[in-house]
Structure 1
Amino acid sequence: MKRDIPPIHAPSGTHVLADLSGIAAEKLSNCELLQTLLCRAAEAAEAHVLFSHFHTFGDGQGVTGVVLLAESHITIHTWPECGFAAADIFMCGSAQPELALALIERTLQPLTTSVKSINRTGVQA
């Protein structure tokens, strides 16, 4: 007997992973700046912010934060003592994560950026 297998939901979108180095420590330890920046980056990408939460680990210490989007998410983790930030931007639909990254780069002004972009278009079974 042959069984019909229901289609598997196939996520699709663009996932951008960025390592940003050589950033001024005061930018990477400023929780308010980073939260405002990532929310504005989402808007620049034409994504819709649902919720954001950011946490600082203390004066001069790193920040971790997430912006939850209708289209997925943007996260950042910072190490001010190393001048380093890791950003994770995943957006589905018509949102443009590269525009979010461009605003993040313009604001944080890293000396170097290493980017990996993954086109996540799933295949239905």
Structure 2
Amino acid sequence: MKHLGKHLILELWGCDPKALDDQEGIEKMLVDSVNACGATLICVKTHKFSPQGVTGVAVLAESHIAIHSYPEFGYAAMDVFTCGEHTDPYKAIDVIKDFLKPESIQIIDIKRGIMENGIFEIK
């Protein structure tokens, strides 16, 4: 069966708390992740919370990459969702790991827009 998109849900534990609270660093990580997976960046928006934490999204022509960080728990929740044969969301993972330095990572791989014989299945 064919699918339109690849959506990775990342559960990152044991991350560097300083990285999780670094708004500029997270923005760069998002941009570098977009480039690594071969996607087309439209824009990046991040927000720093007080007293800690950052949320951010890279809007892509092919979908998005998003993060919400919890420095107090060493945890980050991320989505890496890309569409098109020219993208590979798995290639963003090394960039993410290099910056956040998680001790453990769980990846949930979801195929989006599943088609049978190239036709959308409507029930």
Same fold by TM-score, threshold 0.5 exceeded?
Answer: yes
Q: Please say which structure displays the higher CA radius of gyration.
A: 1
Corresponding residue to 2:90 among 71, 87, 98: 98
Query: Do the aligned residues in 1 keep the contact of 2:9 with 2:109 (CA within 8 Å)?
Result: yes
Task: Look up the SS of the partner of 2:50 in the other structure.
Answer: coil
Q: Which runs of 5+ in 1 are unaligned?
A: 1-10
**Using the alignment, how far apart are the partners of 1:98 and 1:20 within structure 2?**
14
Deviations 1:14-72 (A, max 9, x none): 0000010001211000000000101111001110100110000035x010000000010
**Using the alignment, how far apart are the partners of 1:24 and 1:74 within structure 2?**
20
> Sequence identity of aligned pairs in percent?
36
Task: Look up the SS of the partner of 1:52 in the other structure.
Answer: strand
1:13-24 alignment runs, 5 A limit: 13-24=5-16
Paired residues, number: 115
Q: Name the aligned partner's letter for residue 44 of structure 2.
A: S
Q: Are 2:38 and 1:49 equivalent residues in the alignment?
A: no
Question: RMSD value over aligned CA atoms?
Answer: 1.5
Query: Do the aligned residues in 1 keep the contact of 2:19 with 2:99 (CA within 8 Å)?
Result: no
Q: Are 2:83 and 1:82 equivalent residues in the alignment?
A: no
**Using the alignment, how far apart are the partners of 2:72 and 2:28 within structure 1?**
22
**Using the alignment, how far apart are the partners of 2:17 and 2:36 within structure 1?**
25
Shift in Å at residue 82 of structure 1? 0.3
**Using the alignment, how far apart are the partners of 2:55 and 2:90 within structure 1?**
21
Q: Are 2:22 and 1:30 equivalent residues in the alignment?
A: yes
**Using the alignment, how far apart are the partners of 1:45 and 1:114 within structure 2?**
19
